Amino acid sequence: MFSSIYSAAVTGMEVVPVQVEADVSDGLPVFSMVGYVSSQVKETQDRVRTALHNKKLGLPAKRITVNLAPGDVRKEGTGYDLPVALCILTALGRIPGKYLQGVMAAGELGLDGRVKGIWGILPMVQKAREAGCQVCMVPRENEKEGRLIDNIRVVGVKDIAEAVEWLRQGRPMQDNKEPEHMESELERPEEAVDFSDIRGQEGAVRATLIAAAGMHNLLYIGSPGSGKSMMARRIPGILPPLAREESLELTKIYSIAGLLSKDHPVIQKRPFRCPHHTISPQALAGGGRSPRPGEITLAHNGVLFLDELPEFSRKSLEILRQPLEDRCVYISRVQGTYVFPAGCMLAAAMNPCACGYYPDLGRCRCTPSEVKRYLGKLSGPLLDRMDLCVDIREPTYAQMAQSSRGISSEELRKKVIRAQQIQEKRYQGTDIRFNSQLDGRSVEDYCIMTESSRQWMERIYTKLRLSPRAYHRIIKVSRTIADLDQSELIEEIHVQEAYGYRMAQGGVYDSIY
């Protein structure tokens, strides 16, 4: 007898509905699986056979054929155990076939029949709703995650026997479960860290504020222990709270990456990812045979922080260039091209030299050539993508000891939100969301300067021989500074300040020795 049920395959960020078909017929007792299945999926047959046996649902000595359609999409992962088991049982007539209609199932089986959690449930449930399914059967562990999607019934099952029983009874309504509501939990979770912990360092705080307001990429330069990482860790706290769509998008990414927590499977905080500098290019940008999201995707809508920037391998850093520009990562494989979102703000930190104290000649023990070599590790094109660059210096003792706290994250966030609202209004109906995304032409359209600031820019362009790219970067940053000031036009003082944050051409310290 033949039966079928829906399941789903995750490819990149996309989900493809998969029809699981089973047929039980007379013949030699063979279990065969077809449909472009990876060896991971082939293992399903042993798990299913044993799990059913241990739940007193043992399979008869018959020929069992399982097909996963469409046959041209490669199937990976362990999520097909549950649908395959249910489908075989239906084919054997142990579950009425009509109850499998409109059901999508996914889950891994243990040998004792337990259903274990898998990754990617959220996008699967989303797809099930789009495909017109009424019920999603998922592991109990993933139930909360699945319930984030409205207008579809999500059933969490503990073991295969429970799943079978529920279907046999004709899918009764479960009474006790409230649908999971994101809004109820969308109150902003407390950030553990606050800007008011930072003493002094007003200049760096100001640069951080500007970067956050326009989602500009930011580079901190400073000696070890001066507070670069401390500052960066506080950036997510001054960004506006995640909107519902953003939160769902992030939860989807984390679901696919298998990084959601069981108890609280919603991402409500802006991510802050700080990979170690030994990270491989694939781990940073995403990759693998069937591509999985990398750190830059996990930092979507949040902050990707690269501490000790020059220590990262050249290859890892260069791979960031395209995603930073396009706000998404393209990964091409034989099967097709996968697109992962990568709309993050890049914050990076570095020491000014190998020993870390340059240009404090009292402590720095590097020779000029060593300083040059250290800075030379960063490629020009990558530095070009850093909109703001600021020095961080350790606060003086007096600043450390002062009892008054610095400006709080709360206050800074208000400023950021106001500036981002202005940007939202300005870029309505375009692809642009933040000032950092402006390109050469749109800079001219949206960055209107006063006469005096235009003249000033002309002076600086000719006198200091800026490149057109550097010129545009200064204007983009000054646009954000003007937005923070709630000024329609870009005034002279805005451009002047923006110029102070530029990355020196040809390196950080081009003119010292």
Partner 1 sequence: MIRYIEKDHPAYPKRLRKLPGMPSHLYVNGCLPREEQPTVGIVGARRCTNYGKQTAREFARVFSDWGIQVVSGMAMGVDGESHRGALQGKTPTFAVLGCGVDICYPSCNGDLFGQIPAKGGILSEYPPGMPPVGRYFPARNRIISGLSDVLLVVEARRKSGSLITVDCALEQGKSVYAVPGRVTDPLSEGCNSLIAQGAGIALSPEVVLNELGLDTYKTKEKIGGGKKSKLSLARDLELVYSCIGFQPTDYETLIAQCGYPPGQVLAVLTELQLLGLVEEVGKNYYVRPSAK
Q: Applying CB under 8 A, which residues contact partner 1?
A: 200-206, 221, 352, 358-359, 361-362, 364, 367-368, 389-391, 393, 395-396, 399, 456, 459-460, 463-464, 481, 492-494, 496-497, 499-501, 503-504, 508-509, 511-513
User: Between residues 151 and 511, which has the closer beta carbon with respect to partner 1?
Assistant: 511
Shortest distance (Å) from residue 424 CB to partner 1 = 23
Dist. CA 435–CA 439, nearest whole Å: 9
User: Between residues 331 and 503, which has the closer beta carbon with respect to partner 1?
Assistant: 503
User: Between residues 379 and 396, which has the closer beta carbon with respect to partner 1?
Assistant: 396
Q: At how many degrees (to 10) do helices 468-484 and 202-214 cross?
A: 100
Q: State the pairing for strand pair 103-105/135-139.
A: parallel
Shortest distance (Å) from residue 439 CB to partner 1 = 25
- Nearest Cα to Cα of residue 258 among 145, 119, 126: 119
By the 10 Å C-beta count (0-12 exposed, 13-18 middle, 19+ buried), 174 is classed as: exposed
Token readout for 330 is 């393209």
User: Between residues 132 and 368, which has the closer beta carbon with respect to partner 1?
Assistant: 368
Shortest distance (Å) from residue 179 CB to partner 1 = 48
User: Between residues 28 and 401, which has the closer beta carbon with respect to partner 1?
Assistant: 401
In SS3 terms, 1-16 reads as: CEEEEEEEEEECCEEE
Instruction: Report the first-to-last Cα separation within the chain, whole angstroms.
Output: 83
Shortest distance (Å) from residue 485 CB to partner 1 = 9
Shortest distance (Å) from residue 465 CB to partner 1 = 13
In SS3 terms, 103-148 reads as: EEECCEECCCCEEECCCCHHHHHHHHHHCCCCEEEEEHHHHHHHCC
User: Between residues 182 and 366, which has the closer beta carbon with respect to partner 1?
Assistant: 366
Kind and range of the H or E run holding 384:
helix 380-384
Token readout for 287 is 């990759």
Shortest distance (Å) from residue 385 CB to partner 1 = 16
Q: At how many degrees (to 10) do helices 492-500 and 451-463 cross?
A: 30
User: Between residues 448 and 504, which has the closer beta carbon with respect to partner 1?
Assistant: 504
The sign of the torsion formed by the CA atoms of 477, 273, 235, 197 equals negative
User: Between residues 181 and 459, which has the closer beta carbon with respect to partner 1?
Assistant: 459
User: Between residues 384 and 492, which has the closer beta carbon with respect to partner 1?
Assistant: 492
User: Between residues 261 and 455, which has the closer beta carbon with respect to partner 1?
Assistant: 455
Shortest distance (Å) from residue 222 CB to partner 1 = 9
Shortest distance (Å) from residue 494 CB to partner 1 = 8
Shortest distance (Å) from residue 401 CB to partner 1 = 14
Residues 6+ apart with CB under 8 A from 55: 112, 113, 159, 160, 161
The sign of the torsion formed by the CA atoms of 218, 224, 226, 231 equals positive
Kind and range of the H or E run holding 474:
helix 468-484
Dist. CA 288–CA 463, nearest whole Å: 49
Radius of gyration of the chain from its Cα atoms, rounded to whole angstroms = 28
Shortest distance (Å) from residue 83 CB to partner 1 = 58
Contact by Cβ (8 Å): 247, 424 = no
